[in-house]
Homo-oligomer: A and B are copies of this chain.
Amino acid sequence: MDQDTTHSAVPGHRPTVSSVAAMAGVSRQTVSNALNNPERLQPETLKRVLAAIDDSGYVRSAAARQMRTARSSVLAYRLDPIRDGIGGIVLDTFLHTLSAQAEGQGYRVMLYTADSDEAELRQFAALTQTRAVDAFVLVDTHRDDQRYRWLSENGVPYAVFGRPWPGDEETDDDGAHAWIDIDGSAGTAAATAHLLELGHRNIGFIGYLHDGATGDDRRRGWEASMAGAGVPPRQRRALDSSQRDGILEGADAARRLLDAGATAFVCASDSLAVGALSAAGPEAAVVGFDDSPTAAALGLSSVRQPLEEAAGWALGSVLAQIDGAHSTSGTSRLLVPQLVVRASSRPLS
């Protein structure tokens, strides 16, 4: 409901929500909806109210609202160039979902870029000093991440998609920031159990090195499932391969593990899995990670991250902080991903 700062194009006039409502022959609530929640109105009604607003010279600016509420109703998100055409899609999906969900709550997402922590802290300063944004949603966490401390110390609401890193002093110190993450280990454990059920026992793991924590996490699930199935340590070591993330790297790893007797592969990314699929031939079973559109197109089984849920949590967390919740500690969550089974889940022949 609004009776906001108004400016008139005609001197001596001062159009209000009420006078606009009278002009358009609608209720004040309908005028308010036309301004704040236009999607709630029928297109015809919206058109009539907007025409009346135009005719009256009524202006309700975002700036005027912001001056009153001291809020921008904007969340900030760092947009990085996608480096990997297959798995990079994950963060794009997260951003789209976050943006759509935020709109449902009257918020929008503003982008910024930064190629280092230092550059990002300068962006934090610029965006918060001018009150251009109310909160930050951080992704792509890394070891010794400087960002949590800055935001905490400056009282800026934020949520993190990515768990704190093991041994990360920075996050141990403040210890209270809210995060959500995907349980990668549960995902690869489920993929491995699935391949064991299909009769495979020599199940290779094709992991990546780039990002220690995420890569290690995904490796652990395979290791635990294999150990649980009684595959001895020596055999597990022979079936374990880590390299850079990429299609060609996945193909090379699959060839090496085939020589070591592997009949199936659990991969830490769809990029690696696409490579394994091309190198291993039609006999081998392959499961990827991320359930990218590429996996769907190729009939590749893959582990799907629940990104809608992650985005919804991040949004809920920052909105609660904006609304005055003092701390979000204790609300952090680890989401269990889901295995999507496709043609590449071949039984042992």
Whether A61 contacts B93 by the Cβ 8 Å rule is no
Q: Which residues of B contact A248 (CB under 8 A)?
A: 297-298
Query: Among the listed B34, B61, B79, B100, which residue makes an inter-chain contact with A113, where contact means beta carbons less than 8 Å apart?
Result: B100
Residues of A183-237 whose CB lies within 8 A of B: none
Question: A130 — nearest CB in chain B belongs to which residue?
Answer: B62
Query: Known: A35-B129, A119-B39, A297-B247. Is A79-B95 also a contact (CB below 8 A)?
Result: yes
Query: Among the listed B70, B99, B292, which residue makes an inter-chain contact with A111, where contact means beta carbons less than 8 Å apart?
Result: B99
Whether B83 contacts A293 by the Cβ 8 Å rule is yes
Determine if A182 is an interface residue (Cβ-Cβ < 8 Å).
no
Question: A100 — nearest CB in chain B belongs to which residue?
Answer: B113
List 20 additional contacts besides A85-B294, A85-B297; criterion CB under 8 Å. A38-B122, A38-B126, A50-B125, A50-B129, A61-B66, A63-B131, A66-B66, A79-B95, A79-B99, A81-B92, A82-B89, A85-B270, A86-B86, A86-B294, A88-B89, A99-B113, A108-B111, A108-B112, A108-B132, A248-B298
Whether B293 contacts A125 by the Cβ 8 Å rule is no
Residues of A39-84 whose CB lies within 8 A of B: 39, 43, 46, 50, 53, 59-67, 70, 72, 74, 79-84
Determine if A255 is an interface residue (Cβ-Cβ < 8 Å).
no
User: In the complex the two chains form, what is the Cα distance from A63 to B61 in whole Å?
Assistant: 10
Determine if A9 is an interface residue (Cβ-Cβ < 8 Å).
no
How many monomers of this chain does the complex have?
2
Question: A60 — nearest CB in chain B belongs to which residue?
Answer: B130
User: In the complex the two chains form, what is the Cα distance from A92 to B108 in whole Å?
Assistant: 18
Whether B132 contacts A298 by the Cβ 8 Å rule is no
Determine if A169 is an interface residue (Cβ-Cβ < 8 Å).
no
A interface residues, Cβ below 8 angstroms from B: 34-36, 38-39, 43, 46, 50, 53, 59-67, 70, 72, 74, 79-86, 88-89, 92-93, 95-96, 99-100, 103, 108-113, 118-119, 122, 125-126, 129-132, 246-248, 270-271, 278, 292-295, 297-298
User: In the complex the two chains form, what is the Cα distance from A74 to B314 in whole Å?
Assistant: 24
User: In the complex the two chains form, what is the Cα distance from A122 to B33 in whole Å?
Assistant: 12
Question: A86 — nearest CB in chain B belongs to which residue?
Answer: B85
Q: Which residues of B contact A79 (CB under 8 A)?
A: 95-96, 99
User: In the complex the two chains form, what is the Cα distance from A70 to B9 in whole Å?
Assistant: 14
Q: Which residues of B contact A103 (CB under 8 A)?
A: 112-113
Q: Nearest-CB distance from A113 to chain B (Å)?
A: 5
Whether B80 contacts A96 by the Cβ 8 Å rule is yes
Q: Nearest-CB distance from A317 to chain B (Å)?
A: 19
Best-buried of A88, A93, A118 by chain B (most CB within 10 Å): A88
Q: Which residues of B contact A110 (CB under 8 A)?
A: 74, 108-111
Q: Which residues of B contact A118 (CB under 8 A)?
A: 43
User: In the complex the two chains form, what is the Cα distance from A128 to B250 in whole Å?
Assistant: 48
User: In the complex the two chains form, what is the Cα distance from A318 to B132 in whole Å?
Assistant: 21
**Would you give 26 A-B contacts (Cβ < 8 Å), ordered by A?**
A38-B129, A39-B119, A43-B118, A43-B122, A61-B67, A63-B67, A63-B72, A63-B131, A79-B95, A79-B99, A81-B92, A81-B93, A82-B92, A82-B93, A82-B96, A82-B293, A85-B89, A85-B293, A85-B294, A85-B295, A86-B294, A88-B89, A95-B111, A246-B297, A248-B298, A271-B297
Question: A96 — nearest CB in chain B belongs to which residue?
Answer: B81
